[in-house]
Structure 1
Amino acid sequence: MKYVSTRGGMQPSPFAEVLVEGLAPDGGLVVPETVPHVSAATLESWRGLDYAGLAIEVIGRYADGVPHADLERLCRAAYDPAVFDDDAIVPVRRLDDELALVGLSEGPTLAFKDMAMQFLGQALEYALAHDGATLNILGATSGDTGSAAEYALRGKRGISVFMLSPQGRMSRFQRAQMYSLTDPNIHNIAVAGDFDDCQHLVKQIAGDADFKRRYRIGAVNSINFARVCAQIVYYFWAWLRATDAVPAAERSGRPIDVTVPSGNFGNIFSGYLARRMGVPIRRLVLATNENNVLDEFFRTGVYRPRAGEEALATSSPSMDISRASNFERFVFEVLDRDPERLRAAWAGLERDGVLDLSAERERFADEFGFASGSSTHADRVAAIRETHERYGVVVDPHTADGLAVARRHLEGGIPMLVLETAKPAKFPEIVEEAIGRAPSVPEHLRELLEAPQFVTEASNDQAEIRAIIERDALA
């Protein structure tokens, strides 16, 4: 298995190399040359595996060149039940005959980002130790990626983390999780701007090949393909668990639909790859909040990212994104994996602010299996309240966006699985608005809210961020 760039300017490279580099050297995103296929018989043979065992099988299809014994050790360490609050790692909880929740927030930071980041932390340390190298991680977060990365990489040998976050745009709990860390290899930088500004700074700096090489800059944002392939695992897991009760003779090809709350498009792109690999996913339903650029694209075929000042601050803040960093990977697929067409499309987007693929719109559902919808604050509140009243389950606002959109796409006889994104404790204000009380918070997490916080405030200025990296980067 080799990897290439969506923009065509990278020689086919092995997994270990793209694991460390993140962004392709030509500014594009790394994708596998081919998508591996898993037969129905092989898929069924994986039913009895625990989560780590399944991760070994799925990630192994992409991590060519990593010895099996090493990959097994990495996956066992990443998906150790001692690290997660549920022995299943990813519990699948049925709500009724139509809906189920896929529990992705049992990790140390109570968010789905832990599922990929725990593996990435193990894999990066392994790759760097093998080469005797160091790496300075530069990332941007709207809330959950940052804390998941920092908890996965804190104290890791040979790794330093520089995480940009938008000033005043994360929940109190998210800020406490990140800024209370005291590990010397963790550097939090609060940027005067929104998440898209932070993301743009990361891409600008990572796009400077000389600076990137001199300071060994790497990525853990969802642009890093190792995160994408680690997320594929739970789509396999979800289908296996959703069909456990189906008679064995009827399981093969039994379809499911999956709704994915989406901001940066990485999570749902992992679902697209799982579908390509052979998981019987009939429909991938993308759910957005009021920042509905991706929903508009799937409805019209026109991608019109908003300027930073137009991005709305909502009550599901981790999806307050108007320029999805993984979207280029999907456009590459729509353009039949043609780098020249991709470069032309992206040049037009940068020039005109619009990418028009309306001529391809029918393929989005028919060929790629996508549908979409958006949710408002009122929809979120109603979904949190209804889920609590009907099922006794409290969900966070991003999962509520997923549930609100999922209900519009239910079809009799096809189970709908909604990917849970975070624990409600991270967003107490909207939960209290919906059900009349704040969600309970474990004692060790309550202490975080009162802990001292350590963060460097910076302007939305590339030179200022570079100076911080130059000062504190590992040699």
Structure 2
Amino acid sequence: MHYVSTRGHTAQQNFSEILLGGLAPDGGLYLPQCYPQVTADELNAWRTFSYAELALAVLKKFASDIPEADLKAICDKTYTGEVYRNTRPEQDAAQITPLRVLTDADGKSLLLQALSNGPTLAFKDMAMQLLGNLFEYTLAKHDAELNIFGATSGDTGSAAEYAMRGKKGIRVFMLSPHKKMSAFQTAQMFSLQDPNIYNIAVDGVFDDCQDMVKAVSNDLEYKSRQKIGTVNSINWARVVAQVVYYFRGYLSATSNNQQKVSFTVPSGNFGNICAGHIARMMGLPIDKLVVATNENDVLDEFFRTGVYRVRKSAETWHTTSPSMDISKASNFERFIFDLLDGDAARVAALFKKVETEGGFDLSGGPGSDGDEFKKIAHFGFESGKSVHADRLTTIRQVEKNYGITVDTHTADGIKVALEHLQTGVPMIVLETALPAKFNETIQEALGRDAERPAGFENIEALPQRFIVMDTDVVKMKAFIAEHTGL
């Protein structure tokens, strides 16, 4: 399996070679030359697999350069009941990502797939724990080191830091928007005292943080000298690890391969639902992929109109589902590459236009950049939007009807999913985090605190270690260099 850039860089590389690097040299994102296919016989065999076995079956299709025995050991080490602990008594922790039926009326089925049983109580752990073990394995083989430079709107940062803390040869420099995460999210990151973890609060929004990561990654000489890698979803290994739970969700919700399911995914940076798109391209019987956004509705606007219009920092709303407060979706480029039939030159031109003009238009209307919007249905995408009042209503309704407390992002997903239910097609909503991470809104919705798993009772009271910086790439590079000694 070899990989190519969405913008045309032609040097073929294998999985291990792109694992540590993030962006391609031309600023594009890596994709496999072709998506490996999953047969009906394979799907049937996978129905009895544990999560670790399923992860191995999917990952070895993409990481053929890693010996299968080594990859198996990494998956077995990652996906255990001890790592993905049971946070709900009624769930079997050994399932890793169990399903719960929320409603099944008039032939319409809505299910919730739990993805937040990991160390930081968010779905990012599903991929990040694997990524940490893959990094450690690869670095040890080459006696090398890696300086991870990433950006987070809330959950990626803590998941990355918990996965990388104490790992030999790895340092983490994580940017986050200053005072724009929940109190729990902030404490979860900033309370870490490990010497290889550096938390940097940026005086801006998430998109400013993400732009700085891309600027550093595009400085190829600096990136090489400082051994810069990334854990954001621009990293291909992170996305492909997320593909696994789409297969698990499908296999758990169906009894045969003739049945289709749909997924609704709370979306900001397009990484989570991009994994669903990849699973569908591999042959998983997915009917619809429903993008659920919050007030920052760039993606909803595109899937309704064909116009991709990114917002400036001042136009990006700070909401009660802050992990989705993103107005420039990095992983969207991977889908556009497929939408344009792999035309890398057009992809490069369109995303150059994003940087210079703020977006592009594929609606086919006067003055548009193309008419590919008519092909959207072929890929199964639909979308919807949820705002603060919707979140409060959904949290209250789910609590009343099912005795379940959901976080704000999952509430966005449920609200939009209910608008896209179809008779005979189960709809799986991907849970994104436990409600304790967004206690301020749970209090507003339900008049009480969210339940906290053991070990997180007083996390906000722990000492915090971080620095505040402005959006100056030169100063950021100097800070990294100072603390790596390279």
Shorter-chain TM-score range: over 0.9
2:290 is aligned with 1:279: no
2:431 is aligned with 1:424: no
Match of 2:171 among 122, 143, 160: 160
Structure 1 residues 253 and 474 mapped into 2: Cα distance closer, same or farther (>3 Å)?
A: farther
1:174 Cα deviation after fit: 0.4
Map 1:183-198; keep pairs closer than 5 Å. 183-198=194-209
Q: Report if the CA contact (8 A) 1:159-1:474 is conserved.
A: no
1:354 Cα deviation after fit: 2.2
1:103 Cα deviation after fit: 0.4
Map 1:122-201; keep pairs closer than 5 Å. 122-201=133-212
2:132 is aligned with 1:107: no
2:82 aligned residue: 82
Q: Report if the CA contact (8 A) 2:310-2:354 is conserved.
A: no
2:224 aligned residue: 213
2:5 aligned residue: 5
Alignment partners' CA distance in 1, 2:176 and 2:391: 24
Alignment partners' CA distance in 1, 2:443 and 2:10: 50
1:10 Cα deviation after fit: 4.0
Q: Deviations over 1:175-202 (max 9, x none)?
A: 1110011111100000000000000011
2:318 is aligned with 1:318: no
2:101 aligned residue: 94
2:304 is aligned with 1:299: yes
Segments of 5+ residues of structure 2 without an aligned counterpart are 86-92, 364-370
Q: Report if the CA contact (8 A) 2:351-2:359 is conserved.
A: no
2:313 aligned residue: 308
Alignment partners' CA distance in 1, 2:485 and 2:266: 36
1:16 aligned residue: 16
1:331 aligned residue: 336
1:443 Cα deviation after fit: 4.0
Match of 2:376 among 364, 380, 383: 364
Secondary structure at the aligned position of 2:188 is classed as: helix
1:349 Cα deviation after fit: 2.4
| 1:17 partner letter | E
2:266 aligned residue: 261
Identity of aligned residues (%): 54
Alignment partners' CA distance in 2, 1:158 and 1:74: 18
| 2:277 partner letter | Y
1:350 Cα deviation after fit: 2.3
1:42 aligned residue: 42
Structure 1 residues 385 and 57 mapped into 2: Cα distance closer, same or farther (>3 Å)?
A: same
1:348 Cα deviation after fit: 2.4
Alignment partners' CA distance in 2, 1:443 and 1:111: 15
1:94 Cα deviation after fit: 1.2
Match of 1:399 among 377, 399, 410: 410
Secondary structure at the aligned position of 1:442 is classed as: coil
Alignment partners' CA distance in 1, 2:355 and 2:181: 28
Q: Report if the CA contact (8 A) 1:284-1:371 is conserved.
A: yes
Q: Deviations over 1:223-268 (max 9, x none)?
A: 000011000000000000001xx4xxxx122011100000000110
Aligned residues: 468
Alignment partners' CA distance in 2, 1:364 and 1:347: 22
Alignment partners' CA distance in 1, 2:16 and 2:352: 30
1:472 aligned residue: 483
Alignment partners' CA distance in 1, 2:70 and 2:30: 23
Alignment partners' CA distance in 2, 1:222 and 1:187: 19
2:448 aligned residue: 437
Map 1:440-451; keep pairs closer than 5 Å. 440-451=451-462
| 1:417 partner letter | I
| 2:333 partner letter | E
2:397 aligned residue: 386
Secondary structure at the aligned position of 1:346 is classed as: helix
Q: CA RMSD in A?
A: 0.9
| 1:74 partner letter | I
Q: Report if the CA contact (8 A) 1:10-1:25 is conserved.
A: no
Alignment partners' CA distance in 2, 1:354 and 1:237: 35
Alignment partners' CA distance in 2, 1:442 and 1:51: 23
Secondary structure at the aligned position of 2:265 is classed as: strand
The structure 1 segments of at least 4 consecutive aligned residues displaced by more than 3 Å after TM superposition are none
Alignment partners' CA distance in 2, 1:339 and 1:186: 36
Alignment partners' CA distance in 2, 1:347 and 1:464: 25
Q: Deviations over 1:278-333 (max 9, x none)?
A: 11110000000000000000000000000011100001000000000111111111
Q: Report if the CA contact (8 A) 1:55-1:75 is conserved.
A: yes
2:237 aligned residue: 226
Structure 1 residues 457 and 10 mapped into 2: Cα distance closer, same or farther (>3 Å)?
A: farther
Structure 1 residues 75 and 459 mapped into 2: Cα distance closer, same or farther (>3 Å)?
A: same
Q: Report if the CA contact (8 A) 1:374-1:405 is conserved.
A: yes
Q: Report if the CA contact (8 A) 1:6-1:31 is conserved.
A: yes
2:366 aligned residue: none
Q: TM-score, normalised by structure 1?
A: 0.97
Q: Report if the CA contact (8 A) 1:10-1:24 is conserved.
A: no
Secondary structure at the aligned position of 1:101 is classed as: strand
Alignment partners' CA distance in 1, 2:354 and 2:463: 43
1:441 Cα deviation after fit: 1.3
1:474 Cα deviation after fit: 5.9
Alignment partners' CA distance in 2, 1:279 and 1:27: 30
1:356 Cα deviation after fit: 0.7
Alignment partners' CA distance in 2, 1:168 and 1:207: 28
Secondary structure at the aligned position of 1:187 is classed as: strand
Q: Report if the CA contact (8 A) 1:160-1:474 is conserved.
A: no
User: In terms of mean alpha carbon deviation, does 463-472 or 438-447 score higher?
Assistant: 438-447
Segments of 5+ residues of structure 1 without an aligned counterpart are none
1:52 aligned residue: 52
